[in-house]
């Protein structure tokens, strides 16, 4: 997590993004050096790749030198990179590529077309003087009459370009002989460890780009504090899937805050359908998982704990041709969780045993929770059976709250409070005119 934080807040995001883009071009040029048909063109692509590679690596090392690196990972990489650029091979590659690239850039020639014949000759000072004089006295073109063209579009050489290159090579043989030797000496030249670094840094850049896009939409992200105890503090946590959808739909994302003390292990979340229970379970799992792989988490502030594994059990689609019933499928997926969960594990259950009767779901669900309580695992159990929340004094009851003024309206807020499924049921009865008084009035009409 220290690496991600340092890239994000240490001014390294832009530097790594620029290095990554330059390395993409290096790989592209290096591919051209192996695949193009013309041998001179292949060799020149390799030279361009090596020159850009040398400049990019040195620039990255210069930026890291000026940075106050705090993370051990980046500090170790910087030490390795410093040793690498001072190693004999890279020093020789860099020197040769720079000098040869400069030598090619100094090649100047004139092209003369006369009587259907193209003549190539070394450039003279008079032509340069005429061009400078013309530029000095040239009137600016108006925006309404722009004019530009490319004589030889495309990467591959045309027949005319091959003829021109052959003539230029005869006029300037020395740089091309050096180019031939450079290609033989330095193909391939990219250090594999730098390719690994460039590939892995893509993960950090992509992750931060995503969270930056959420931040522009008003959603916070945080680098959690990892507690040595089994405690949890979350402020304004939200689900990434919902947040991503909201970027396009403009919907409001409701954040939730809750705490879990060191001695609390089992959380039972109840409430009305479409009240945010599954969304909360997803966000809970996302925050724990992202923190474990060193990423920021979707909330304003967080204190999380270390764990060994996350187990999840969500409803699955019925597979065509699957002969066993839904309950059997649930039990088959539940068994390895109970067999492998430890006191450092986190388990997320969403509507477990939803395919059986309420009585059986309560009996089996309570037994599962008691088994996990004995193991000492942390468990979030999302269910419509509100009696489970009160079945043990060590269970923490969470409720997907509704509007006190209109109990049928969801707030998508998760509250720590006593479960009462009858409140929601009675609100639905009143909403649809099914109370005893409402039914009696309708019958008497």
First vs last C-alpha separation in the chain: 69
Q: For residue 135, is it within any domain?
A: no
Domain boundary at 170, 204, 238, which? Answer: 204
Provide the pLDDT for residue 140: 47
**How much is the average pLDDT of 35-52?**
94
Tell me: do 199 and 271 sit in the same domain: no
Tell me: do 379 and 304 sit in the same domain: yes
Q: For residue 66, is it within any domain?
A: yes
Q: For residue 211, is it within any domain?
A: no
**How much is the average pLDDT of 216-234?**
93
Tell me: do 271 and 196 sit in the same domain: no
Q: For residue 290, is it within any domain?
A: yes
Judged against a pLDDT cut of 50, whether residue 89 lies above it is answered with yes
- Look at the chain and report how many structural domains it folds into: 2
The per-residue pLDDT for range 324-348, each reduced to its tens digit, is 678 888 999 999 999 999 999 999 9
Domain boundary at 153, 170, 204, which? Answer: 204
Tell me: do 373 and 429 sit in the same domain: yes
With a pLDDT cut of 90, the percent of the chain lying above it is 64
Provide the pLDDT for residue 63: 97
Domain hosting residue 192, numbered range? 2-106+184-204
- Provide the β-strand partners of residue 400: 414
**How much is the average pLDDT of 424-441?**
74
Provide the pLDDT for residue 409: 83
Tell me: do 252 and 195 sit in the same domain: no
| Residue 122 contacts residue 171 (beta carbons within 8 Å) | yes
Pairing of strands 232-237, 256-260: antiparallel
Tell me: do 193 and 294 sit in the same domain: no
Tell me: do 376 and 293 sit in the same domain: yes
Q: Give the model's confidence band at 156: pLDDT under 50 very low, under 70 low, under 90 confident, else very high.
A: confident
Provide the pLDDT for residue 410: 87
Predicted structure pTM score: 0.82
Judged against a pLDDT cut of 50, whether residue 302 lies above it is answered with yes
Tell me: do 305 and 196 sit in the same domain: no
Domain boundary at 204, 239, 274, which? Answer: 204
The per-residue pLDDT for range 159-168, each reduced to its tens digit, is 777 777 787 8
């Amino acid at each position: 997590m220290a690496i991600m934080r340092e890239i994000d807040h240490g001014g390294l995001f832009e530097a790594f993004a620029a290095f990554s883009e330059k390395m993409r071009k290096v790989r592209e040029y290096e591919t051209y050096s192996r695949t193009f048909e013309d041998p001179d063109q292949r060799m020149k692509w390799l030279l361009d790749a090596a020159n850009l590679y040398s400049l990019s690596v040195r620039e990255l090392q210069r930026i890291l030198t000026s940075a106050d690196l705090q993370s051990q990972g980046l500090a170790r990489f910087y030490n390795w990179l410093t040793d690498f650029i001072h190693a004999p091979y890279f020093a020789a590659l860099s020197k040769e590529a720079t000098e040869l690239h400069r030598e090619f850039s100094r090649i100047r020639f004139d092209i003369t077309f006369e009587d259907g014949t193209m003549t190539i000759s070394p450039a003279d000072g008079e032509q340069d003087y005429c061009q400078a004089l013309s530029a000095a006295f040239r009137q600016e073109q108006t925006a309404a009459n722009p004019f530009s063209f490319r004589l030889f579009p495309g990467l591959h050489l045309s027949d005319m370009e091959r003829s021109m290159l052959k003539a230029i090579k005869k006029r300037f043989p020395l740089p091309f002989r050096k180019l031939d030797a450079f290609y033989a000496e330095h193909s391939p030249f990219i250090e594999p460890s730098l390719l690994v670094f460039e590939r892995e840094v893509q993960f950090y850049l992509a992750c931060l780009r995503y969270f930056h896009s959420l931040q522009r939409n008003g959603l916070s992200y945080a680098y959690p504090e990892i507690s040595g105890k089994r405690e949890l503090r979350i402020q304004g946590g939200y689900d990434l899937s919902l947040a991503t959808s909201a970027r396009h739909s403009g919907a409001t994302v409701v954040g939730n805050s809750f705490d879990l003390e060191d001695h609390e292990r089992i959380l039972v979340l109840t409430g009305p359908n479409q009240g945010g229970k599954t969304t909360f379970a997803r966000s809970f799992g996302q925050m724990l998982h992202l923190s474990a792989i060193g990423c920021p988490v979707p909330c304003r502030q967080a204190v999380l704990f270390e764990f060994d594994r996350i187990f999840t059990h969500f409803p699955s689609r019925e597979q065509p041709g699957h002969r066993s019933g839904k309950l059997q499928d649930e039990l088959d997926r539940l068994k390895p969780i109970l067999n492998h969960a430890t006191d450092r594990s986190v388990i997320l259950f969403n509507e477990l045993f939803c395919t059986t009767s309420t009585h059986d779901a309560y009996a089996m669900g309570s037994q599962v929770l008691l088994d996990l309580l004995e193991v000492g695992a942390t468990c979030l159990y999302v269910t419509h059976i509100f009696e489970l929340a009160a079945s043990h004094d060590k269970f923490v009851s969470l409720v997907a709250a509704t509007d006190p003024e209109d109990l049928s309206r969801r707030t998508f807020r998760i509250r720590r409070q006593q479960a009462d499924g009858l409140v929601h049921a009675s609100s639905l009865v009143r909403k649809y005119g099914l109370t005893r008084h409402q039914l009696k009035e309708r019958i008497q009409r």
